[in-house]
Amino acid sequence: MIREEFAQFLGKLREINNNGGDIDAFVKEHEHRNVYFYNDGCIKKILASEKNIMLTTDLVNAALGLIGTDRIMNPKLVNPFIPGELGYRSAEPDILLTNEREGETPRDRISIEVQHNMEKFYRDRLVLYVARLTSNMVKSGDTYQLENLNVVSFQFFDAFPESANYRHTVQLRNQEQQVYFDKQTVTLIEVEKFFKSAERFADDNCRLAQWLRAIDALNREADFSEFANDPVFRVLQNEVKLSNFSSRYLMTVDMSDFDRAVARYEAVREIAKKLLAMGKMTVPEICAVTGLYKKEVLALQNENSEES
Protein backbone atom coordinates (compact mmCIF):
# COMPACT_ATOMS: atom_id res chain seq x y z
CA MET A 1 0.00 0.00 0.00
CA ILE A 2 1.09 3.54 -0.59
CA ARG A 3 1.22 5.84 2.43
CA GLU A 4 -2.31 7.19 2.03
CA GLU A 5 -3.80 3.71 1.58
CA PHE A 6 -2.02 2.41 4.66
CA ALA A 7 -3.25 5.39 6.68
CA GLN A 8 -6.80 4.58 5.62
CA PHE A 9 -6.29 0.91 6.46
CA LEU A 10 -5.05 1.71 9.97
CA GLY A 11 -7.89 4.19 10.44
CA LYS A 12 -10.44 1.54 9.47
CA LEU A 13 -8.75 -0.98 11.78
CA ARG A 14 -9.12 1.37 14.74
CA GLU A 15 -12.71 2.12 13.79
CA ILE A 16 -13.57 -1.59 13.74
CA ASN A 17 -11.83 -2.07 17.08
CA ASN A 18 -13.66 0.88 18.66
CA ASN A 19 -16.96 -0.54 17.46
CA GLY A 20 -16.21 -3.96 18.94
CA GLY A 21 -15.66 -5.59 15.55
CA ASP A 22 -13.35 -8.44 14.58
CA ILE A 23 -10.00 -6.83 13.75
CA ASP A 24 -8.37 -10.23 13.13
CA ALA A 25 -10.90 -10.93 10.39
CA PHE A 26 -10.29 -7.49 8.85
CA VAL A 27 -6.52 -8.04 8.73
CA LYS A 28 -7.03 -11.57 7.39
CA GLU A 29 -9.14 -10.15 4.58
CA HIS A 30 -6.22 -7.98 3.49
CA GLU A 31 -3.33 -10.35 4.26
CA HIS A 32 -2.29 -10.47 0.60
CA ARG A 33 -1.61 -6.71 0.59
CA ASN A 34 1.73 -5.06 1.33
CA VAL A 35 2.23 -2.70 4.24
CA TYR A 36 3.72 0.75 3.66
CA PHE A 37 7.43 0.04 4.10
CA TYR A 38 8.45 3.50 5.35
CA ASN A 39 5.98 3.55 8.26
CA ASP A 40 7.95 3.62 11.54
CA GLY A 41 6.24 0.53 12.97
CA CYS A 42 6.61 -1.45 9.74
CA ILE A 43 10.23 -0.60 9.01
CA LYS A 44 11.20 -1.47 12.59
CA LYS A 45 9.54 -4.89 12.44
CA ILE A 46 11.18 -5.61 9.08
CA LEU A 47 14.68 -4.18 9.49
CA ALA A 48 15.19 -4.53 13.27
CA SER A 49 14.48 -8.25 13.13
CA GLU A 50 17.34 -10.68 13.82
CA LYS A 51 16.16 -12.98 11.05
CA ASN A 52 16.36 -10.13 8.53
CA ILE A 53 19.85 -8.92 9.44
CA MET A 54 21.04 -9.73 5.90
CA LEU A 55 18.31 -7.44 4.56
CA THR A 56 19.22 -4.60 6.92
CA THR A 57 22.94 -4.92 6.24
CA ASP A 58 22.44 -4.81 2.48
CA LEU A 59 20.35 -1.64 2.75
CA VAL A 60 22.87 0.05 5.06
CA ASN A 61 25.79 -0.74 2.76
CA ALA A 62 23.75 0.54 -0.20
CA ALA A 63 22.77 3.76 1.58
CA LEU A 64 26.34 4.44 2.71
CA GLY A 65 27.85 3.40 -0.61
CA LEU A 66 30.15 0.90 1.09
CA ILE A 67 31.84 -1.78 -0.99
CA GLY A 68 34.62 -4.32 -0.55
CA THR A 69 36.32 -4.40 2.84
CA ASP A 70 34.65 -1.12 3.85
CA ARG A 71 31.26 -2.85 4.01
CA ILE A 72 29.35 -3.49 7.21
CA MET A 73 30.03 -7.21 7.71
CA ASN A 74 29.61 -7.92 11.45
CA PRO A 75 26.36 -6.15 12.37
CA LYS A 76 24.57 -6.49 15.68
CA LEU A 77 21.17 -4.97 16.40
CA VAL A 78 21.18 -2.77 19.50
CA ASN A 79 17.40 -2.72 19.93
CA PRO A 80 16.06 -5.71 17.97
CA PHE A 81 12.38 -6.22 17.31
CA ILE A 82 11.07 -8.98 19.57
CA PRO A 83 8.40 -11.21 17.98
CA GLY A 84 5.15 -10.82 19.85
CA GLU A 85 5.94 -7.40 21.29
CA LEU A 86 3.26 -4.77 20.90
CA GLY A 87 5.65 -1.94 20.29
CA TYR A 88 6.62 0.94 22.50
CA ARG A 89 8.16 4.37 22.21
CA SER A 90 11.50 5.19 23.77
CA ALA A 91 14.39 7.59 23.34
CA GLU A 92 16.19 4.98 21.23
CA PRO A 93 15.99 5.15 17.45
CA ASP A 94 13.84 2.48 15.80
CA ILE A 95 16.78 0.86 14.05
CA LEU A 96 20.24 1.01 15.58
CA LEU A 97 23.05 -1.42 14.93
CA THR A 98 26.76 -1.71 15.60
CA ASN A 99 29.51 -3.24 13.52
CA GLU A 100 32.83 -4.50 14.87
CA ARG A 101 35.92 -3.95 12.71
CA GLU A 102 39.28 -5.67 12.90
CA GLY A 103 42.33 -4.20 14.60
CA GLU A 104 42.16 -0.86 16.33
CA THR A 105 39.59 0.60 13.96
CA PRO A 106 36.66 1.99 16.00
CA ARG A 107 33.44 0.08 15.62
CA ASP A 108 30.56 1.52 13.62
CA ARG A 109 27.25 2.69 15.04
CA ILE A 110 24.52 3.04 12.41
CA SER A 111 21.05 4.47 12.82
CA ILE A 112 18.25 4.43 10.25
CA GLU A 113 15.33 6.84 10.34
CA VAL A 114 12.54 8.07 8.07
CA GLN A 115 11.39 11.68 7.86
CA HIS A 116 8.16 12.29 5.93
CA ASN A 117 7.48 15.95 6.60
CA MET A 118 9.65 19.04 6.35
CA GLU A 119 9.10 20.26 9.91
CA LYS A 120 10.19 23.75 10.94
CA PHE A 121 12.91 22.44 13.25
CA TYR A 122 13.77 19.21 11.46
CA ARG A 123 17.45 20.19 11.08
CA ASP A 124 17.62 21.09 14.77
CA ARG A 125 16.04 17.74 15.65
CA LEU A 126 18.47 15.85 13.41
CA VAL A 127 21.52 17.57 14.91
CA LEU A 128 20.21 16.92 18.42
CA TYR A 129 19.60 13.29 17.46
CA VAL A 130 23.22 12.96 16.27
CA ALA A 131 24.45 14.62 19.48
CA ARG A 132 22.51 12.16 21.66
CA LEU A 133 23.85 9.16 19.76
CA THR A 134 27.36 10.57 20.10
CA SER A 135 27.11 11.32 23.82
CA ASN A 136 25.87 7.77 24.48
CA MET A 137 29.18 6.38 23.19
CA VAL A 138 31.21 7.60 26.17
CA LYS A 139 30.47 6.93 29.82
CA SER A 140 31.56 9.30 32.56
CA GLY A 141 35.28 8.84 33.28
CA ASP A 142 36.03 7.05 30.00
CA THR A 143 38.42 8.32 27.35
CA TYR A 144 36.95 10.48 24.64
CA GLN A 145 37.58 8.09 21.75
CA LEU A 146 34.38 7.94 19.73
CA GLU A 147 32.98 5.29 17.42
CA ASN A 148 32.18 5.87 13.77
CA LEU A 149 28.62 7.20 13.67
CA ASN A 150 26.46 6.98 10.55
CA VAL A 151 22.92 8.35 10.64
CA VAL A 152 20.92 7.40 7.55
CA SER A 153 17.78 9.45 6.96
CA PHE A 154 15.29 8.60 4.21
CA GLN A 155 13.52 11.90 3.53
CA PHE A 156 10.40 12.70 1.51
CA PHE A 157 11.38 16.29 0.89
CA ASP A 158 14.49 17.95 -0.49
CA ALA A 159 17.14 18.93 2.01
CA PHE A 160 19.17 20.40 -0.88
CA PRO A 161 16.66 21.57 -3.52
CA GLU A 162 19.34 23.13 -5.74
CA SER A 163 21.40 19.94 -5.90
CA ALA A 164 20.96 17.39 -8.68
CA ASN A 165 21.94 14.60 -6.29
CA TYR A 166 19.46 12.60 -4.23
CA ARG A 167 22.03 11.22 -1.79
CA HIS A 168 24.02 13.62 0.40
CA THR A 169 26.74 13.05 2.97
CA VAL A 170 27.04 15.72 5.65
CA GLN A 171 30.22 16.02 7.75
CA LEU A 172 32.17 18.64 9.70
CA ARG A 173 34.34 20.53 7.20
CA ASN A 174 36.32 23.75 7.07
CA GLN A 175 35.85 26.61 4.60
CA GLU A 176 38.03 24.78 2.08
CA GLN A 177 35.74 21.75 2.24
CA GLN A 178 38.37 19.64 4.00
CA VAL A 179 36.89 17.04 6.33
CA TYR A 180 37.75 17.89 9.94
CA PHE A 181 36.07 14.92 11.66
CA ASP A 182 35.33 11.82 9.61
CA LYS A 183 33.82 9.70 12.38
CA GLN A 184 30.44 11.40 12.18
CA THR A 185 28.42 11.28 8.95
CA VAL A 186 24.79 12.03 8.22
CA THR A 187 23.55 10.52 4.97
CA LEU A 188 20.39 12.12 3.59
CA ILE A 189 18.46 10.23 0.92
CA GLU A 190 15.86 12.34 -0.88
CA VAL A 191 13.38 9.66 -1.94
CA GLU A 192 10.90 11.90 -3.76
CA LYS A 193 13.65 13.67 -5.75
CA PHE A 194 14.85 10.29 -7.00
CA PHE A 195 11.43 9.50 -8.49
CA LYS A 196 10.54 13.01 -9.62
CA SER A 197 13.74 13.00 -11.66
CA ALA A 198 13.32 9.41 -12.83
CA GLU A 199 14.64 10.16 -16.34
CA ARG A 200 17.80 11.72 -14.98
CA PHE A 201 18.46 8.66 -12.81
CA ALA A 202 17.29 6.07 -15.35
CA ASP A 203 20.85 4.80 -15.83
CA ASP A 204 21.61 4.84 -12.11
CA ASN A 205 21.87 1.17 -11.17
CA CYS A 206 23.79 1.54 -7.94
CA ARG A 207 22.56 -0.65 -5.09
CA LEU A 208 20.76 2.25 -3.39
CA ALA A 209 18.84 3.06 -6.58
CA GLN A 210 17.84 -0.61 -6.84
CA TRP A 211 16.60 -0.54 -3.25
CA LEU A 212 14.54 2.61 -3.80
CA ARG A 213 12.91 1.14 -6.90
CA ALA A 214 12.21 -2.20 -5.21
CA ILE A 215 10.61 -0.54 -2.17
CA ASP A 216 8.55 1.73 -4.42
CA ALA A 217 7.27 -1.24 -6.44
CA LEU A 218 6.24 -3.03 -3.23
CA ASN A 219 4.54 0.06 -1.80
CA ARG A 220 2.58 0.50 -5.04
CA GLU A 221 2.02 -3.27 -5.26
CA ALA A 222 3.29 -3.08 -8.83
CA ASP A 223 5.03 -5.66 -11.00
CA PHE A 224 8.03 -6.96 -9.04
CA SER A 225 9.42 -9.32 -11.67
CA GLU A 226 12.57 -7.25 -12.37
CA PHE A 227 13.64 -7.76 -8.73
CA ALA A 228 12.48 -11.37 -8.35
CA ASN A 229 15.87 -12.93 -9.08
CA ASP A 230 17.62 -10.95 -6.36
CA PRO A 231 17.72 -13.04 -3.14
CA VAL A 232 17.69 -9.96 -0.90
CA PHE A 233 14.66 -8.45 -2.62
CA ARG A 234 12.84 -11.79 -2.52
CA VAL A 235 13.14 -11.68 1.27
CA LEU A 236 11.96 -8.08 1.26
CA GLN A 237 8.95 -8.99 -0.88
CA ASN A 238 7.89 -11.58 1.68
CA GLU A 239 8.51 -9.43 4.74
CA VAL A 240 6.28 -6.54 3.65
CA LYS A 241 3.22 -8.81 3.40
CA LEU A 242 0.45 -7.80 5.77
CA SER A 243 0.13 -11.46 6.75
CA ASN A 244 3.35 -11.03 8.77
CA PHE A 245 1.75 -8.35 10.96
CA SER A 246 -0.69 -9.32 13.70
CA SER A 247 -3.77 -7.18 14.27
CA ARG A 248 -2.55 -6.50 17.81
CA TYR A 249 0.76 -5.14 16.53
CA LEU A 250 -0.94 -3.06 13.84
CA MET A 251 -3.10 -1.47 16.52
CA THR A 252 0.10 -0.02 18.01
CA VAL A 253 1.46 1.23 14.70
CA ASP A 254 1.30 4.99 14.84
CA MET A 255 0.27 7.39 12.11
CA SER A 256 1.63 10.91 11.84
CA ASP A 257 -0.71 13.87 12.02
CA PHE A 258 -0.46 14.06 8.24
CA ASP A 259 -1.49 10.42 7.89
CA ARG A 260 -4.44 10.91 10.22
CA ALA A 261 -5.51 13.93 8.22
CA VAL A 262 -5.30 11.89 5.01
CA ALA A 263 -7.43 9.13 6.52
CA ARG A 264 -10.05 11.63 7.72
CA TYR A 265 -10.06 13.42 4.37
CA GLU A 266 -10.61 10.19 2.43
CA ALA A 267 -13.40 9.17 4.82
CA VAL A 268 -15.12 12.54 4.32
CA ARG A 269 -14.79 12.20 0.54
CA GLU A 270 -16.53 8.83 0.67
CA ILE A 271 -19.37 10.34 2.72
CA ALA A 272 -19.74 13.16 0.20
CA LYS A 273 -19.85 10.69 -2.70
CA LYS A 274 -22.61 8.71 -1.00
CA LEU A 275 -24.62 11.86 -0.29
CA LEU A 276 -24.30 12.88 -3.93
CA ALA A 277 -25.43 9.44 -5.06
CA MET A 278 -28.50 9.66 -2.83
CA GLY A 279 -29.41 12.93 -4.52
CA LYS A 280 -31.21 14.39 -1.51
CA MET A 281 -28.79 17.21 -0.72
CA THR A 282 -27.49 20.11 -2.75
CA VAL A 283 -23.79 20.71 -3.33
CA PRO A 284 -23.69 23.66 -0.85
CA GLU A 285 -25.41 21.50 1.79
CA ILE A 286 -22.86 18.71 1.30
CA CYS A 287 -20.05 21.28 1.59
CA ALA A 288 -21.53 22.46 4.90
CA VAL A 289 -21.81 18.90 6.26
CA THR A 290 -18.41 17.60 5.16
CA GLY A 291 -16.27 20.74 5.22
CA LEU A 292 -15.12 20.11 1.64
CA TYR A 293 -14.72 22.95 -0.85
CA LYS A 294 -17.32 23.34 -3.58
CA LYS A 295 -14.84 22.44 -6.31
CA GLU A 296 -13.98 19.19 -4.49
CA VAL A 297 -17.65 18.18 -4.22
CA LEU A 298 -18.21 19.04 -7.89
CA ALA A 299 -15.21 16.88 -8.82
CA LEU A 300 -16.71 13.99 -6.84
CA GLN A 301 -20.01 14.59 -8.62
CA ASN A 302 -18.21 14.17 -11.94
CA GLU A 303 -16.58 10.97 -10.67
CA ASN A 304 -19.98 9.58 -9.73
CA SER A 305 -21.29 10.44 -13.19
CA GLU A 306 -18.37 8.70 -14.89
CA GLU A 307 -18.72 5.60 -12.71
CA SER A 308 -22.42 5.33 -13.46
Q: Are strands 167-173 and 108-115 parallel, antiparallel or unpaired?
A: unpaired
- In sign, the C-alpha dihedral spanning 57, 61, 63, 64 is positive
Q: Which helix (H) or strand (E) holds 188?
A: strand 179-190
User: Residue 196 CB: number of other CB atoms within 10 A?
Assistant: 13
From 241, 259, 302, 291, select the one nearest 7 (Cα to Cα).
259
The rounded distance, in Å, linking the Cα atoms of 161 and 154 is: 15
DSSP secondary structure of 261-290:
HHHHHHHHHHHHHHHHHHT-S-HHHHHHHH
pLDDT of residue 86: 52
DSSP H helices, the chain, are 3-18, 23-29, 40-47, 53-64, 122-135, 191-196, 207-220, 231-239, 247-250, 257-278, 283-290, 294-307
DSSP secondary structure of 224-254:
-GGGTT-HHHHHHHHHTBGGGS-HHHHTT--
CA 263 to centroid of chain Cα atoms: 18
The rounded distance, in Å, linking the Cα atoms of 290 and 105 is: 61
Q: Which helix (H) or strand (E) holds 97?
A: strand 95-99
Backbone angles phi, psi at 156, to 5 degrees: -105, 35
pLDDT of residue 82: 74
pLDDT of residue 90: 46
Strand pairing partners for 99? 75, 108
- CB-side exposure of 225: number of CA atoms within 13 Å? 1
Spatial contact of 45 and 86, defined as CB atoms under 8 Å apart: no
Spatial contact of 196 and 174, defined as CB atoms under 8 Å apart: no
The rounded distance, in Å, linking the Cα atoms of 44 and 39 is: 8
The rounded distance, in Å, linking the Cα atoms of 141 and 60 is: 32
CA distances from 119 to 91, 131, 134, 216 (A): 19, 19, 23, 23
Name the burial class of residue 221, with classes exposed (0-12), middle (13-18) and buried (19+) by CB atoms within 10 angstroms of its CB.
middle
Burial letters for 129-161: b for 16+ Cβ neighbours within 10 Å, e otherwise?
bbeebbeebeeeeeeeeebbbbbbbbbbebbee
pLDDT of residue 74: 92
The one-digit pLDDT tens for each residue of the chain (308 residues) are 999 899 889 989 988 999 999 999 999 999 999 999 999 899 999 999 999 999 999 999 999 999 999 999 999 999 888 765 555 444 455 699 999 998 878 899 999 999 988 877 889 989 999 999 998 888 877 777 899 999 999 999 999 999 999 999 999 999 999 999 999 999 999 999 999 999 999 999 999 999 999 999 999 999 999 999 999 999 999 999 999 999 999 988 877 655 666 667 777 888 899 999 999 899 999 988 887 878 889 989 888 877 76
